[in-house]
Amino acid sequence: MDDLVETMSNQLDIHVPGVRYVGIYGIGGCGKTTLAKIMFNQLSACFDACSFLADVRESSKRGLLYLQKKLVSNLRARHSSDISDVDDGIKTLKDICKSKKVLIVLDDVDKREQIESLAGSFSWFSSGSRIIVTTRDVRVLTVVQEELDGDTPVNTKMSTLEMKGLDSEQALQLFSTFAFKTDQPPADYLDLSKEVISVTGQLPLALEIIGSQLFDKRKVEWEEKLSTLTKIPHQNIQRKLMISYEDLEYRTKQIFLDIACLPVNLKKANAIPMWRSYGLHPEVGIKDLISMSLIKIVDEDKIWMHDLLRELGKEIACMENFIDIRKRSRLWILEEAFGILKRKEVGDNLAVLDLSNCKRLYRTPDLSRYSTLERLILKDCCSLCQLDCSIGKLKRLKHLNLNGCRSLRGLPGEIGSAEALEEIFLEGSHNSFTLLPESVMSSALRTVPDLSGLNNLTDLLLLGYIQGYQFSQLSQSAESMNPSRWMRNEWTVKRRIGQIINLPKLENLVLQLSNVTSLPVEIGASQVLKFLVVGGPQLRHIPQLPSSLSTLVFWCLKLNGKQPCLSNLKKLTSLGFLECSIGEDGLECLGVGELEQLETLSIYCDTTDLTGLQLPPNLQKLYVVDCAYVRRLPDLSHLKNLKLLKLQNCKQLAEIPGLGELEPLPKISIVSCDSLANQEIRSNMPEETL
């Protein structure tokens, strides 16, 4: 491999100006991708922007636009969802590459149009750019060579490198690395090793997989494996690899087939919960597949499988029923899968449905039959306008991916009946959203969608848990609210709040959070937020809040002297404390007395002392409820506009200073305040105030 790296370095020659293409070609499994990856890792720091597009042949089944978006995203130019079609993608790539020196690798290309839409011309690129293409078919490289034969810029160059099987010495060294974890085999295994290498055709992929399989095995097992390999024709590498598959445990075979049939770039973090729900023991299975060199974990926790192994897995899946595709466990060809869905011919065990990049999907089909469905992936279905209401009948649905569905107008109200739903992904699906349905209150939901693009969203309610209060109990102002977004369960959303608070039309926000200890300072930057409820048992620090607020409720908080002063909230008319634990000086330090526009104050709290609380002069309604240990209220004598005083379940309350000085007396409601029962103040109240 060192010789090949040196040859590639000379062909790329990154120190000279101009644009260069290098095409690496050879049979599957000969090391093309490995060489391209080595060069990419060595050289990427020398360029302004880089992209390694792996498995182009496989990924292109999702459309050339998908590949263009991925390339644009890697080159960090603009959000890839802005690209509308392939021509727009070409224009965007030209704009990017003209201003940057780029390194691009197109791995496993099998069609000319893939190069044409991703790196179609020398003229796209600024001087110093380098493009590497790997392919099994050298003929696809002619698209570049044809341009080179015409009128091309100075210093442009196209070169090719054929990858052949390793020579005997290189093959022995590579095989030994996996079979013995050393550069050379032990003397008593030398002859056996050479025989195994001979029957593999000295292909790197086969040497790696079979070597890994023989690691730490006895000689008798080596001899059995060699006997099996010898019976397979020399050129049939796939059948040789089949031996490794057959040695897998049943559960690990299922994981192998899933990886082979699911789209490339599958993330381990997304796949493990799915496999775990099927009882497949994914941690063990992935470890076994890695140890046998059948998969690798690469950038950003992605599961990588060689294209030859993918072909093997798909062939195995096809053989489950070669004629009737309805009876196969896995479908990956888009037209076949969607046709079966439309005809409602899918079997009863469908668990994952991936319709990503269905350009002509305008509305999802009736899904009510597929009661076992757990994951529905509609990513980049750019024409999708509507989800069928039958989604509410998917009682096992856990994962819904709507990223990039930019035509989607909203979610159906029935989605709230999908009671197992844990994750909703909405990135890039926001242009016409004005609301999320009130029914989205699945008790299993644990992931807050990326809402940063919902620019028309006006109300959002994110609940961690509810301790029995109805929304109407927040205050008179709260009673008039009808928030249209319910997402209910425990989650950590601090990383999303910075996005949420910057939504340009968001006026009403409820954050009842679990496992969050502080809010980001960005929350104070909003200029449109009017209604805010914030709380959580672990929340200890709240930064300065937006001055645009008219209603503020603290809910299930532990308040102390470290909380922010509220004196900047000049527009605040309603303030509530619900189920808060209030320590010494907890209310005094909030600056409530400076809130000149405050009309309603609600205190539903566990507190022992309110005497230090300064009440603002324009207060009209005061609620003191469930304050079991409060003995004395603050002085009310200056509250000339007070119209309502409600006291309830304040068992030890015995004194209300200044009430007698108010003219006229406000309406007063006293319920279950036993210590006030025999007080003269109660007997002297006019009957109409009670």
Given a cut of 70, whether residue 174 has pLDDT beyond it is yes
pLDDT tens for 10-20 read 888 888 888 88
CB 439, CB 410: distance < 8 Å: no
pLDDT tens for 277-306 read 778 889 999 988 887 778 888 876 888 888
Name the residue with tokens 């060294």: 173
Based on the domain organization, do 32 and 148 belong to the same domain? yes
Give the 3-state secondary structure of residue 388: coil
CB 626, CB 603: distance < 8 Å: no
Say which DSSP state 351 is in.
-
Based on the domain organization, do 172 and 135 belong to the same domain? no
Final residue in a domain of this structure, among 584, 619, 654: 619
Given a cut of 90, whether residue 365 has pLDDT beyond it is no
Based on the domain organization, do 661 and 577 belong to the same domain? no
Mean pLDDT in residue range 616-621: 91
Q: So what's the pLDDT on residue 503? A: 61
Query: Would strands 302-304 and 266-267 be described as parallel, antiparallel, or unpaired?
Result: antiparallel
**DSSP structure string for 265-301:** SEEHHHHHHHHHHTT--HHHHHHHHHHTTS-EEEGGG
Given a cut of 80, whether residue 334 has pLDDT beyond it is no
Tell me the C-alpha to C-alpha distance, in Å, between residue 409 and each of 359, 388, 433, 453, 499. 16, 12, 6, 13, 21
Based on the domain organization, do 214 and 83 belong to the same domain? no
Residue 372 domain-assigned (yes or no): yes
Alpha carbons within 13 A on the beta-carbon side of 523? 25
pTM score, whole prediction? 0.47
pLDDT tens for 245-270 read 888 889 999 999 989 888 777 888 77
Based on the domain organization, do 375 and 487 belong to the same domain? no
Based on the domain organization, do 390 and 530 belong to the same domain? no
Based on the domain organization, do 463 and 430 belong to the same domain? no
Name the residue with tokens 């992929």: 205
Based on the domain organization, do 516 and 608 belong to the same domain? yes
Based on the domain organization, do 9 and 128 belong to the same domain? yes
Given a cut of 90, whether residue 198 has pLDDT beyond it is no
Alpha carbons within 13 A on the beta-carbon side of 18? 14
Cα 557 from Cα 430, distance rounded (Å): 33
Based on the domain organization, do 156 and 173 belong to the same domain? no
Domain that holds residue 648: 630-690
Number of domains comprising the chain: 6
Q: So what's the pLDDT on residue 104? A: 92
Residue 443 domain-assigned (yes or no): no
Count of beta carbons in the 10 Å neighbourhood of residue 119: 28
* CATH code of 43's domain: 3.40.50.300
CB 388, CB 366: distance < 8 Å: yes
Say which DSSP state 632 is in.
B
Residue 36 domain-assigned (yes or no): yes
Residue bearing the bigger pLDDT, 40 or 273:
40
Final residue in a domain of this structure, among 434, 464, 489: 434
Q: Which of 115-119, 140-144, 260-264, 489-493 has the highest mean pLDDT?
A: 115-119
pLDDT tens for 530-545 read 888 887 777 777 888 8
Final residue in a domain of this structure, among 192, 220, 246: 246
Task: Report, in angstroms and rounded to the nearest whole number, the Rg of the chain calculated over CA atoms.
Answer: 34
Q: So what's the pLDDT on residue 622? A: 92
Cα 671 from Cα 229, distance rounded (Å): 88
Residue 365 domain-assigned (yes or no): yes
Based on the domain organization, do 13 and 122 belong to the same domain? yes
Based on the domain organization, do 237 and 258 belong to the same domain? no
- Band of residue 82 on the pLDDT scale cut at 50, 70, 90: low
Residue 328 domain-assigned (yes or no): no
